[in-house]
Amino acid sequence: MKLLEDYILKEGRIIDGNILKVDSFINHQINPTLMQELGKDLAEYFKDKGINKILTIETSGIAPSLMCALYMNVPLVFAKKAKPSTMNDSYTTTVTSYTKNKVYDIVVSKEMLNEDDKILFIDDFLANGEAFKGIEKIIKESKASLIGVGIIIDKVFQKGHKYIIDSGYDLYSLAKISKLEDGLITFE
């Protein structure tokens, strides 16, 4: 998606060699008009696939997912990174983030997913796919179906992209980065 690639080139910064910082328009400050365009594009791609619910993970997946949910006219559920005291039974799994060098839980209330659900999972970044594997596990446990995966920025040179494709899921990424080196961003 050209609009997004232009934003990444203009406002993104590479730090520590291979971390792309997009905090001026995606994950700290959010550009609402850009989110609207991202959501619209995702909704257009997935519109005829029978999706009845969107799933994301807090926090940075919420903005593009919400816009997509609005255009698809379906509810959005966000997995939480800690179980609130007010939540009853939940699907819970542990995710290891290599980039952030930490382990965290992702939690979805059992009330939010059921076997009739046809899920579109959306996230802001795809790198090693650890968060995705957690979501995949939760969806399997709930007996819902994972119909598609929408990613804002897909670092296709890391392991997650191949894992999702090899698993046979319908993956749609708005920006595919094939290389992050020497301060340069290369799109596929």
Judge contact between 46 and 72, C-beta under 8 A.
Answer: yes
Distances (CA, A) of 21 to 9, 34, 38, 140: 11, 17, 18, 32
Q: Which residues face 185 on adjacent strands?
A: 180
**What distance in Å separates the CA atoms of residue 106 and residue 88, rounded to the nearest whole number?**
15
Residue 185 binds to a copy of itself (criterion: CB under 8 A): no
Biggest alpha carbon–alpha carbon distance for the chain: 48
| Smallest separation, CB 75 to a copy of itself (Å) | 5
Which of 3, 5, 18, 36 is the binder for a copy of itself (CB under 8 A)? Answer: 36
Pick left, alpha or beta for residue 51 (phi over 0 → left; psi -120 to 50 → alpha; otherwise beta). Answer: beta
Cα torsion angle, 61, 26, 43, 6, sign: negative
Which of 6, 9, 23, 165 is the binder for a copy of itself (CB under 8 A)? Answer: 23
Q: Taking contact as CB under 8 A, which single stretch among the options 11-19, 116-124, 150-158, 168-176 is the one that binds a copy of itself? A: 11-19
Q: Taking contact as CB under 8 A, which single stretch among the options 59-67, 140-148, 160-168, 175-183 is the one that binds a copy of itself? A: 59-67
- By C-beta, is 95 or 164 nearer to a copy of itself? 95
Residue 144 binds to a copy of itself (criterion: CB under 8 A): no
Residue 10 binds to a copy of itself (criterion: CB under 8 A): no
Please report where in the chains the tokens 């990424």 appear, as a residue.
173
Residues that bind a copy of itself (CB under 8 A): 15-16, 19, 21, 23-24, 28-33, 35-36, 58-59, 62-63, 66-67, 69-70, 73-78, 80, 84-87, 100, 108-109, 111-112
